[in-house]
């Protein structure tokens, strides 16, 4: 029997039992009926649900199988396509490799052919160049030989011609009427020949002139020739082993000696190089027995090595840029108005007076050199910016109106050296410098690197110290501003010492003893006054040259002060103290205040004025005292003029 039949039969039996036991309960019977109906209906429902679920599951299984079949088919198709693509790519790569190899073989073959062709071409070109170079060298050698032969011919002809004139021509058959014309002919012949021959034969020609006493000699102008305008470039004059060449009173004026060399030569009787071009000239072992004069000379990059100057050397208004003096001795030296920028004195000795004036010597070097202690040396109006004075003795030397900014004076002995009259030593270096009696007057040392202990034995006057501090003279710069010079009672005449009369001179008014009291103790015996009813005026010139360093800084101010007095009544402004620049561009006035006194006692009031001085107004000023009309009862005394550093940096 099927299970559901058994279940149904069992359910029926239980239901009958329950109905029998509770037949009397109507409600219970009804409930059981509903239960029975529900259970009866649930079986088909479950079967239906089971059938639907089974169908759905079968559909899902079929769909899954279909998708798997489709994916398998797609994978198989993609694999076939991939295999086909790989096969095609491999075939393409094989074809490309084969083509590349073919091209490479073709290129290598072409390159090899090109290299062979280029090698052949290079060989041909090199052969051609060698042939051309050989031909050019041969032509050059031929030209040199021809040129040398030409120079030799010209030189030989010159020697023969001059020798004939000097030695072979009979005296009674001379072609020249006098010696002067003969020398003039030799000069023309010499100048023309010098322009047409080379430097080697120029040197030989110069020696020929020397040996025949034809070189220009100041002491024998009629028997020697002038070489003005001569071309003596690149000559080399070297004394032979048998003895030095000795040039007497040699005059080499207004000629070209560029790149010339003089070795072991002696110059006697004074040598003159004025107006000549001596750029790159070299004097080696030369001895100048007498003066050497050079005016308007170009000595650019010239060198004097192991030279001795026994007398005075004077070079003026010349260009000596980069010139060098090495291991040379000077008896006296005077350089005036020269440009000696970046020049040098190395291991030199200055035995006599040495003067450098009005020159540019920026960047010059003095190294291991010595100035004689008992001679006076001077640098006057010289620009020495960025110069070097190292490892040397600088004695008895005065620097004035010169600029030594950024100059290095390290390891140098300064003995009795005067830095005076507007010297600039800004940012200069004094490292390990030995000071002996060194004085600084009117010197700007701003930023200088110097040990302050060096100043212990030095005199400092109107100096700007390295830290910017001013050591300025604060004294009264007016002379006899207190009217006490030649002041006596009774006075015999009016003497305005130190003052100059302009209109009517003021007088020295001697105070009556009854007019003085304890408040007048600083006034003295006399004052300035005007005894007539007309205008009185006097003036005094004040020179501020010793303060120009401070004036140039635009930080200098003056204070003018005076005592104004009256024994009666003095109206405002009857006395004026004018400060006027020398050229009149600056004027400023200090006037008396109103003063009223009684009992014939002189009442005094002090008044002052402070103002900044501009460098545009120069360093000369007038102090003018003016008494206007009706100032007979007005007095002025103790007039003073002081200078100091201003604390205000703008003009009032």
The full set of domain ranges for the chain reads: 148-319, 500-645
Cβ–Cβ under 8 Å, residues 253 and 272? yes
d(CA 627, CA 93): 121
pLDDT in tens, 267-323: 998 999 999 999 999 999 999 999 999 999 999 999 999 999 999 999 999 999 999
User: What band does 91 get if pLDDT is binned at 50, 70 and 90?
Assistant: confident
Cβ–Cβ under 8 Å, residues 425 and 406? no
What are the helix and strand counts (H, E) for the chain?
Answer: 5, 41
Say which CATH class 500-645 falls into. Answer: mainly beta
- By CB atoms closer than 10 A (0-12, 13-18, 19+), residue 377 is buried
Q: Please, what's the largest Cα pairwise distance for the chain?
A: 203
pLDDT in tens, 436-494: 889 999 999 999 999 888 888 788 999 999 998 999 999 999 999 988 887 765 554 55
Cβ–Cβ under 8 Å, residues 173 and 201? no
- Over 50: is that where the pLDDT of 28 sits? yes
Strands 587-591 and 575-581: antiparallel
Across 272-291, b (16+ Cβ under 10 Å) vs e yields: bbbbbbbbbbbbbbbbbbbb
Q: What pTM, to 2 d.p., does this model score?
A: 0.71
Alpha helix locations (H) across 231-334?
Answer: none
- By CB atoms closer than 10 A (0-12, 13-18, 19+), residue 311 is middle
Residue-level pLDDT at 649? 47
Residue-level pLDDT at 26? 58
């Amino acid at each position: 029997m099927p299970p559901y039949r058994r279940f149904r039969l069992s359910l029926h039996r239980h239901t009958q039992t329950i109905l029998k036991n509770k037949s009397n309960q109507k409600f219970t019977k009804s409930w059981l009926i509903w239960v029975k109906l529900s259970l009866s209906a649930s079986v088909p429902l479950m079967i239906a649900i089971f059938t639907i679920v089974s169908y759905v599951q079968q559909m899902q299984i079929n769909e899954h199988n279909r998708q798997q079949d489709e994916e398998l088919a797609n994978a198989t198709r993609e694999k076939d396509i991939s295999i086909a693509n790989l096969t095609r790519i491999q075939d393409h790569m094989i074809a490309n490799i084969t083509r590349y190899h073919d091209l490479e073989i073709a290129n290598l073959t072409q390159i090899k052919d090109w290299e062979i062709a280029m090698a052949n071409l290079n060989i041909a070109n090199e052969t051609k160049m060698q042939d051309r170079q050989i031909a050019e060298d041969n032509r050059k050698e031929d030209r040199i030989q021809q040129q040398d032969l030409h120079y030799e011919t010209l030189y030989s002809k010159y020697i023969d011609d001059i020798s004939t004139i000097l030695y072979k021509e009979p005296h009674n058959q001379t072609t020249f009427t006098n010696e002067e014309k003969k020398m003039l002919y030799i000069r023309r012949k010499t100048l023309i020949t010098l322009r047409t021959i080379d430097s080697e034969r120029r040197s030989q020609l110069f020696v020929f002139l020397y040996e025949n006493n034809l070189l220009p000699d100041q002491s024998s102008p009629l028997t020697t020739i002038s070489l003005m305008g001569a071309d003596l470039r690149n000559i080399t004059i070297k004394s032979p082993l048998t003895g030095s060449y000795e040039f007497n009173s040699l005059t080499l004026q207004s000629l070209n000696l560029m790149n010339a060399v003089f070795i072991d030569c002696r110059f006697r009787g004074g040598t003159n190089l004025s107006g000549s071009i001596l750029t790159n000239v070299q004097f080696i072992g030369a001895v100048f027995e007498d003066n050497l004069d050079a005016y308007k000379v170009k000595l650019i990059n010239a060198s004097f090595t192991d030279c001795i100057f026994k007398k005075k050397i004077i070079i003026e208004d010349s260009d000596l840029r980069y010139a060098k003096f090495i291991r040379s001795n000077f008896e006296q030296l005077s350089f005036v108005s020269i440009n000696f920028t970046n020049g040098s004195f190395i291991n030199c000795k200055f035995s006599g007076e040495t003067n450098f004036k009005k020159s540019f010597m920026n960047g010059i070097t003095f190294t291991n050199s010595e100035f004689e202690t008992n001679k006076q040396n001077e640098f006057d109006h010289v620009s020495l910016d960025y110069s070097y004075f190292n490892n040397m003795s600088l004695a008895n030397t005065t620097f004035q109106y010169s600029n030594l900014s950024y100059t290095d004076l390290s390891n140098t002995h300064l003995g009795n050296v005067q830095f005076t009259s507007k010297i600039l030593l800004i940012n200069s270096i004094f490292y390990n410098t030995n000071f002996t009696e060194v004085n600084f007057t009117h010197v700007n040392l701003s930023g200088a690197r110097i040990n302050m202990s060096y100043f212990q034995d030095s005199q400092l006057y109107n100096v700007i110290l390295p830290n910017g501090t001013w050591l300025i003279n604060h004294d009264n710069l007016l002379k006899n501003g207190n009217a006490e010079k030649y002041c006596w009672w009774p006075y015999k005449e009016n003497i305005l010492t130190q003052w100059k009369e302009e209109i009517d001179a003021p007088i020295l008014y001697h105070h009556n003893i009854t007019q003085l009291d304890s408040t007048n103790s600083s006034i003295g015996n006399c004052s300035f006054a005007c005894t007539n009813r007309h205008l009185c005026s006097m003036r005094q010139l004040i020179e501020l040259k010793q303060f120009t360093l401070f004036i140039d800084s635009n930080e200098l101010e003056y204070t003018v002060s005076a005592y104004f007095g009256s024994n009666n009544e003095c109206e405002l402004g009857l006395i004026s103290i004018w400060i006027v620049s020398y050229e009149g561009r600056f004027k400023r006035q200090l006037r008396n205040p109103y003063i009223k006194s009684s009992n014939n006692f002189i009442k005094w009031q002090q008044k002052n004025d402070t103002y900044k001085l501009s460098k545009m107004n120069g360093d000369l000023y007038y102090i003018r005292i003016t008494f206007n009309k009706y100032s007979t009862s007005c007095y002025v005394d103790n007039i003073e003029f002081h200078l100091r550093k201003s604390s205000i940096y703008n003009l009032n």
